[in-house]
Structure 1
Amino acid sequence: MPDEGFEQFVRLRYTELLHTAYLLTGSLPLAEDLVQTCLLKIMPRFERIAEPLPYLRRAMVNQRTSWWRGLRRELLSAEPPDDPRPDSSGAFAERSALVAELARLPQRMRAVLVLRYWEDLSEAETAELLGCSVGSVKSQASRGLARLRELLESSDLRSGR
């Protein structure tokens, strides 16, 4: 049975973890599965983990990569995880387009962008979580942002904006 500290952590951080997982997977059901799988894995040793949030982020990136290698294909959804209100400004459409194009990026590049810009981690923290160099994070972020711009511009041209 989980201890009180674990339950409180899950109550406080679940939504944040779900958003990160959604950006990593592109699908709400897969995001929920990813968070649940990783939480179940750390539950028995939760009290021994000094910083559970970074640990879980790393676990989610690793688990997602493991799933991707097993499936060898992407399962995506156009629906974001939260239920937005009607938006006359077009922000919802822009966000949906961004999430859709983010899902087209290679897994490692996507993980770098999610950790750096969604989770607002430093280059050093991102490198540590992904087990790579800071230079690798910088180059993946730079290439990923450039690729996202290209994808978004080409989708704008296709839609006639």
Structure 2
Amino acid sequence: MGRIGATRETKDAEFLELVTGHTGRLYRSACLLTGGDTHHAEDLVQEALSRMYVLWRRSAWTGGRHRVENPGAYTHTVMVRVFLAQKRRRSSGEHPTDLLPESEGREPDGALRVTLLDALGRLPAKDRAVLVLRYWEDRSIEETAEVLRLSPGAVRTRTSRALARVREQLGDALAELAVR
């Protein structure tokens, strides 16, 4: 194979390394963003990775002046932006409802986790993204602001309001579940 074929093989091997090293973390974050909808989370991860693959194949992107220092973090950024873009679409088939599905089949040990996932799922997409990035991904206010294309002040405000909504939704349930 010529030089071009070897370069493609090298890039594909590097991309495969990125995928194997970050897919688990991406999936966990996607589950939180989607409120526990594992199917939507898988689609979200797949979409982010497919967009990254297109960028990865461009030689200027991985080796030129547009080189990204941390491809894993950039992939997370792409995933969050894809999630927010999907939520903004008017053609979304989702409709809010007061009725929640039965919670059969869930283990009693995961009651706290389920309660928190349900509370996250009721938040607006941007508020959910702020909480996931700040508290699950442990990102700073500035990093969160950059990913969401907001000002640091807007991130602080959204974080405060989102936490207040979660506390309001959970009420005394969180204290009862945490004691167990």
TM-score > 0.5 by shorter chain:
yes
Q: Distance in 2 between matches of 1:77 and 1:65?
A: 24
**Matching residue of 1:126:** 144
Equivalent pairs: percent with the same residue?
Answer: 39
Matched, 1:44 2:62: no
Amino acid at match of 1:73: E
Which of structure 1's runs of 4+ aligned residues deviate more than 4 A?
74-79
> Is the Cα contact below 8 Å between 1:6 and 1:43 reproduced in 2?
yes
SS of the aligned residue for 1:49 comes to coil
Question: Against the structure 1 CA distance between its residues 6 and 36, is the aligned structure 2 distance closer, same or farther, given a 3 Å change threshold?
Answer: same
Residue 78 of structure 1 deviates from its aligned partner by: 8.4
- How far does the alpha carbon of each residue in 1:16-57 deviate from its partner, in whole angstroms, 9 at most, with x for none? 000111111121011011001110111132234332122222
**Matching residue of 2:45:** 35
Unpaired runs of 5+ residues, structure 1, are 157-161
Q: Distance in 2 between matches of 1:153 and 1:72?
A: 30
Q: Distance in 2 between matches of 1:116 and 1:77?
A: 28
Amino acid at match of 2:71: P
SS of the aligned residue for 2:171 comes to helix
Residues 1-161 of structure 1: matches in 2 within 5 Å?
3-26=12-35, 27-46=37-56, 47=62, 48-70=67-89, 71=92, 73=94, 90=109, 92-153=110-171
> Is the Cα contact below 8 Å between 1:68 and 1:74 reproduced in 2?
no
Q: Distance in 1 between matches of 2:94 and 2:154?
A: 24
Residue 72 of structure 1 deviates from its aligned partner by: 5.8
> Is the Cα contact below 8 Å between 1:116 and 1:122 reproduced in 2?
yes
Q: Distance in 2 between matches of 1:96 and 1:63?
A: 25
> Is the Cα contact below 8 Å between 1:20 and 1:114 reproduced in 2?
yes
Question: Against the structure 1 CA distance between its residues 74 and 115, is the aligned structure 2 distance closer, same or farther, given a 3 Å change threshold?
Answer: farther
- Note the aligned Cα RMSD (angstroms): 2.6
> Is the Cα contact below 8 Å between 1:58 and 1:129 reproduced in 2?
yes
Question: Against the structure 1 CA distance between its residues 58 and 105, is the aligned structure 2 distance closer, same or farther, given a 3 Å change threshold?
Answer: same
Q: TM-score, normalised by structure 2?
A: 0.73
Larger radius of gyration: 2
Residue 73 of structure 1 deviates from its aligned partner by: 2.6
> Is the Cα contact below 8 Å between 2:45 and 2:79 reproduced in 1?
yes
Q: Distance in 2 between matches of 1:58 and 1:78?
A: 33
More moved, 117-126 vs 147-156: 147-156
More moved, 143-152 vs 63-72: 63-72
> Is the Cα contact below 8 Å between 1:78 and 1:96 reproduced in 2?
no
